[in-house]
Amino acid sequence: MTSDAKTRHYDTVARAIEFIRKNAKRQPTLEDIAQAVHMSPFHLQRVFSEWAGLSPKRFLQYVTKQHAKACLLQSHSVLQVSESLGLSSASRLHDLMITSEAMTPGEIQSAGEGLRIGFGRGESPFGEALVAWTPRGICHFSFVDEDFDERVARLKVTWARATLTRDDTQALRWTTQIFARGVPRGPIHLVLRGTNFQIKVWEALIHTRPAEVLSYGRLAQKIHQPKAQRAVGTALSLNDIGFLIPCHRVIQESGEVGQFRWGTARKVAMQAWEQGIFGAPEQVPAGAMASSPTPGAH
């Protein structure tokens, strides 16, 4: 399926998500959802299958609050078992594919003086994206709806002294690589712009597994600052590299999706897409679970 087709499918998926969320209490049927997005049930089934290998029925299961809470509990348990057995992160393969470094204070303070930045419009399963990169790696990735030019203008303000060059062909290469089925093809390096605390939060997220979800409290624990939940939320809201720094994997302890700078429907879509491709969080062997400590409260 072409990138453009994925983007068109996302428009349908986003409308379906909005309908499902507004009517969650009455548990809409496939026919209800199809009618809401002005499609036949057969066509809607095909859209979901092509978009993420999911049936609408399975998608409905993935976007429920109950499923989110179950994933939270399982993510906590997997992490604790890994730690108690001395295992490396379950995201080992993903870790090898996405690496990061911080921009120097000089680069930030000088607004990128002497820095060459390419940027362009790419296609993704979640709509069109603005991608920007330096010779060292990707420094910006945001989702755009009708505001591409506005976001480019903001990028130019942020890097007022850098040399910015538009290259949509390279941007499309980036998005093709990022959204390949399975883990991204080849290593992707990120160049992060933020405070030391923000970078610590973002790097912790990079090391989570695809399809994993975790709470704000759990993320604060991962960076060894369990009382910093509010500051963690602020760091997520300032993330300029969407999807690759996966803020969409962080939800509220209650199972509610929570806020997302590129829209709640997009956040839900990302979670369901990852679970459709990578599967739900892995199961923990019963014996290991019995010997693991009880998850701490947030």
214-261 tens-digit pLDDT: 999 999 999 999 999 999 999 999 999 999 999 999 998 888 888 899
Give the SS3 label for residue 209: coil
Question: Could you tell me which residues are beta bridge partners of residue 133?
Answer: 118, 138
pLDDT at 259: 87
What is the CATH code of the structural domain delimited by 65-278?
A: 1.10.10.10
Over its length of 298 residues, how does the chain's per-residue pLDDT go in tens digits? 555 666 778 989 889 888 888 887 777 888 999 999 999 999 998 898 888 777 777 777 776 666 666 766 665 544 444 444 343 444 444 444 889 999 988 999 999 999 999 999 999 999 999 999 999 999 999 999 888 999 999 999 999 999 999 999 999 999 999 987 655 567 899 999 999 999 999 999 999 888 888 999 999 999 999 999 999 999 999 999 999 999 999 998 888 888 899 999 899 999 888 887 776 544 333 333 233 333 333 3
Which pLDDT score, from 0 to 100, does residue 292 have? 31
pLDDT at residue 120 in the model: 98
The DSSP code sequence of 118-180 is: EEEEE--BTB-EEEEEETTEEEEEEE-SS-HHHHHHHHHHHTTTSEEEE-HHHHHHHHHHHTS
Q: Which of 239, 225, 227 is nearest to 194 (CA)?
A: 239
Q: What is the pLDDT of residue 136?
A: 95
pLDDT of the residue at 4: 61
Separation between Cα atoms, residue 142 and residue 262, nearest integer Å: 8
Show the CA angle centred on residue 210, arms to residues 226 and 213, nearest 5°. 40
What confidence score (pLDDT) does residue 183 get?
A: 56
Per-residue model confidence (pLDDT) at position 277 = 78
Q: In the Cβ-directed half-sphere of 236, how many Cα atoms lie within 13 Å?
A: 27
Considering the entire predicted model, what is its pTM?
Answer: 0.81
pLDDT, position 272: 85
What is the reported pLDDT for 182? 55
What does the pLDDT read at residue 126? 94
The pLDDT, as a whole number, for residue 187 is: 84
The reported pLDDT for the residue numbered 287 is 34
Angle formed by the axes of helices 229-237 and 196-206, nearest 10°: 80
**Hey, which residues are catalytic here?**
247
User: According to the model, what pLDDT value does residue 257 have?
Assistant: 87
* Domain chopping of the chain, boundaries: 3-62, 65-278
